[in-house]
Amino acid sequence: MVTDGNNLSDEYLVEIEGLHFAYGGRVVLKGINLRARRGQVVAIMGASGGGKTTLLRLIGGQLKPTAGRVRVAGKLVNELKRRDLYRLRRRMGMLFQFGALFTDMSVFDNVAFQLREHTDLPADMIRDLVLMKLNAVGLRGAAHLMPAELSGGMARRAALARAIALDPELMMYDEPFTGLDPISLGVAGNLIRKLTDTLGMTSLVVTHDVKESFAICDYVYIMANGVIAAEGRPEDIDKSDLPFVRQFVRGEIDGPVPFHLPAPDYAQALGLEQPHV
Amino acid sequence: MFNAVYRSIGGVGRRVREGVWTLGYAARFFVAVLLRSGDLLRRPGLVLRELYYVGVLSVIIILVSSLFVGMVLGLQGYETLKIYGSDSALGVLVALSLTRELGPVVAALLFASRAGTAITAEVGLMKTTEQLSAMEMMAVDPVARVVAPRFWAGVISMPLLAAMFSAAGIFGGYLVGVVLIGLDDGTFWSQMQAAVEWHHDVLNGIIKSAVFGVAVSVIALFEGFDAQPTAEGVALATTRTVVVSSLAILGLDFVLTAFMFKG
């Protein structure tokens, strides 16, 4: 059974319960519970390597959880058959960290890709739709360029135009602010908010950029050690007294997350001290 | 001492287990490629595009190499046949060597080096830069959209390239035997025509090259698809494509020859 009569699904597009995941023997997620209300921008934050991108891949069905459930639009993603999963993915969009544009196609063809693959629309209508999507991200003038000719910020915007080509219900962003200059940063944040509102999407933004994400999101989940350490509205998270949340939000060096990875004694490693017997 | 032996036996066992696992994964991959090729009948343009990159762009290296192979074959063959007074059979020697063995085998080795490595590097880099993941998330199956067209382009190209190799090689033999050494033109061609059989020699050569085409294409695509998503991973996968393809071609050639020409 891949659907259920849970009426929460009407209110929440994404519902995750008790999600566990491990890469081989390395446990990454240890019981994640998360919900994303329809029409909202939800930020998933946490330190690098904390399993945020893995969580997106579990929502998209690219990975299978070791335990727990992932429900999108009322469908249990981890129990869907391949055909049904692909059908559900047509209602999702994902922006990868570095865009993942097809390098052998122009920007125009990248954006047209899904329209050509999944619809029988005539070429002139596809052209109009592509130009509309590119216009929405401010790149109509770059339609003829190849991905190698774009800057990092432009490539991500082009990838965003591609991801929204079929007007998805759920849009997932994997580190959309990483490596962008201040202007591109503002443009990216503004686009995520504007597209979510105008297209009526639900957006999941995986990021560790506190300032930009707090400015645009409705709800925040903070992950630490494979679990949700805190959740709430940005203003509540900002005032949180939880040590990890304080350290993360304010970027403090001292706190529950140590600066040094576990290592042998420093003096001993430098040969200044004999090992204790 | 006991621990070292125990560890080395464990290491061998682990490698064997990994090898068997990879072989099984490759077999599943091959079956998946075949099962998801149906869409190409509706969209032959995808295969045609890959035929250009895989086949057409390999034509130059195939023709130039085969011309030299044929010329060397002409020189060496003439020197040997002359000893027995059979230099008039040079055309037969060149044609049979090329259509039965050198055409399919050398063309396949060149194909693995030129097109196979290009396929592995391209698919491996698509994986590294998350293009395959992006395609999956757009509800487009990468095996059907990326792998299958390249596979069929390789399978179709290989026999055609082998045929070109044989034809250009025979021309190289003709240049040396007739134009350079001065053998009789009519004897060269007529003996060849009399000795080379369509089914026994030409068709068997085509079947060989088609089998090599399947093997090289699957190996190249699998290595790219299975590559570690790092620069080093893609480099290793590309190297493995050449090594594994070459061994597969030579091994399969022995098996096929044993069945086809056992007398």
Positive/negative CA dihedral, B205, B207, B210, B216: negative
> According to the model, what pLDDT value does residue A5 have?
45
| Spatial contact of A57 and B136, defined as CB atoms under 8 Å apart | no
Contact A117 B138 (CB under 8 A): yes
Q: What is the mean pLDDT of chain A?
A: 87
Q: Which stretches of chain B sit within 8 Å of chain A by CB?
A: 129-131, 133-134, 136-141, 145
> According to the model, what pLDDT value does residue B198 have?
86
Q: How far does the CA of residue B202 sit from the closest CA of chain A (Å)? A: 38
pLDDT tens figures, B171-227: 999 999 999 999 999 999 999 999 988 888 899 999 999 999 999 999 999 999 999
Token pair listed for B90: 């040079």
Positive/negative CA dihedral, A7, A9, A12, A18: positive
Helix (H, G, I), strand (E, B) or coil at A49: coil
> According to the model, what pLDDT value does residue A3 have?
47
Share of chain B above pLDDT 70, in %: 99
> According to the model, what pLDDT value does residue A2 have?
45
Positive/negative CA dihedral, B25, B30, B31, B33: positive
Is B31 among the domain residues? no
Q: Sorting pLDDT into bands at 50, 70 and 90, what band is A277?
A: low
Beta strand A202-207 with A75-76 is: unpaired
Q: Sorting pLDDT into bands at 50, 70 and 90, what band is B263?
A: low
Quick one: average pLDDT of A17-44?
A: 91
Is B40 among the domain residues? yes
Q: What is the mean pLDDT of chain B?
A: 93
pLDDT tens figures, A206-226: 988 888 888 899 999 998 888
- A90 to chain B, any CB pair closer than 8 A? The answer is yes
Neighbouring residues of A138: CB distance < 8 A, sequence distance ≥ 6: A157, A187
Q: How far apart are the C-alpha atoms of B32 and B148, rounded to whole Å? A: 9
Token pair listed for A69: 């459930």
Contact B138 A60 (CB under 8 A): no
A144-148, A261-265, B177-181: least confident range: A261-265
> According to the model, what pLDDT value does residue A11 have?
85
> According to the model, what pLDDT value does residue B260 have?
86
> According to the model, what pLDDT value does residue A244 have?
80
> According to the model, what pLDDT value does residue A54 have?
92
Token pair listed for B233: 């991973």
> What are residue A21's phi and psi, to 5 degrees?
-155, 145
> According to the model, what pLDDT value does residue A208 have?
84
| Burial class of B174 by CB neighbour count within 10 A (0 to 12, 13 to 18, 19+) | buried
Q: How far apart are the C-alpha atoms of B234 and A264, rounded to whole Å? A: 35
Q: How far apart are the C-alpha atoms of A1 and A70, rounded to whole Å? A: 13
Is B14 among the domain residues? no
Neighbouring residues of A39: CB distance < 8 A, sequence distance ≥ 6: A196, A197, A200, A201, A202
The residue assigned the tokens 């130009």 is A131
Higher-scoring residue by pLDDT: B160, A261: B160
Tally of domains in chain B: 1
Q: How far does the CA of residue B138 sit from the closest CA of chain A (Å)? A: 6
How are strands ordered across the β-sheet holding A12-23?
Answer: A26-37, A12-23, A67-72, A75-76
- A101 to chain B, any CB pair closer than 8 A? The answer is yes
Q: Residue A148: name the closest of B134, B125, B148 by CA.
A: B125
Task: Tell me the pTM.
Answer: 0.86
Is B27 among the domain residues? no
The residue assigned the tokens 């063309």 is B107
Strand partners, A42: A204, A219
CA separation, residue B89 to residues A13, A183, B45, B66, B76 (Å): 79, 78, 45, 20, 13
CA separation, residue B86 to residues A13, A86, B26, B90, B178 (Å): 83, 67, 49, 8, 15
Is B51 among the domain residues? yes
Q: How far apart are the C-alpha atoms of B185 and A202, rounded to whole Å? A: 78
Containing structural domain, residue B144: 36-260
> According to the model, what pLDDT value does residue B7 have?
87
Q: Residue A222: name the closest of A94, A51, A98, A11 by CA.
A: A51
Q: Which of B138, B143, B234 to mutate to test the interface with A (most CBs of A within 10 A)?
A: B138
> According to the model, what pLDDT value does residue A51 have?
87
Is B92 among the domain residues? yes
Contact A86 B139 (CB under 8 A): yes
- A118 to chain B, any CB pair closer than 8 A? The answer is yes
Token pair listed for B206: 């085509």
Intra-chain end-to-end CA distance of chain A, in Å: 60
Helix (H, G, I), strand (E, B) or coil at A275: coil
Token pair listed for B6: 């125990």
The one-letter code for the residue type at A131 is L
pLDDT tens figures, B5-53: 888 888 899 999 999 999 999 999 999 999 999 888 888 999 999 999 9
Quick one: average pLDDT of A158-170?
A: 92
> According to the model, what pLDDT value does residue A276 have?
63
> According to the model, what pLDDT value does residue A1 have?
41
Measure CB to CB from residue B137 to each of A60, A101, A103 and give the nearest one. A60
Quick one: average pLDDT of B255-259?
A: 92
Q: How far does the CA of residue B246 sit from the closest CA of chain A (Å)? A: 29
Helix (H, G, I), strand (E, B) or coil at A174: strand
pLDDT tens figures, A49-64: 788 889 999 999 999 9
| Spatial contact of B127 and B224, defined as CB atoms under 8 Å apart | yes
Q: Residue A56: name the closest of A22, A86, A91, A93 by CA.
A: A93
Positive/negative CA dihedral, B63, B65, B66, B70: positive
Check whether A195 has a pLDDT greater than 50. yes
The one-letter code for the residue type at A54 is T
Q: What is the 3-state secondary structure (H, E, C) of B187-244?
A: HHHHHHHHHCCHHHHHHHHHHHHHHHHHHHHHHHHHHHHCCCCCHHHHHHHHHHHHHH
Q: How far does the CA of residue A20 sit from the closest CA of chain B (Å)? A: 21
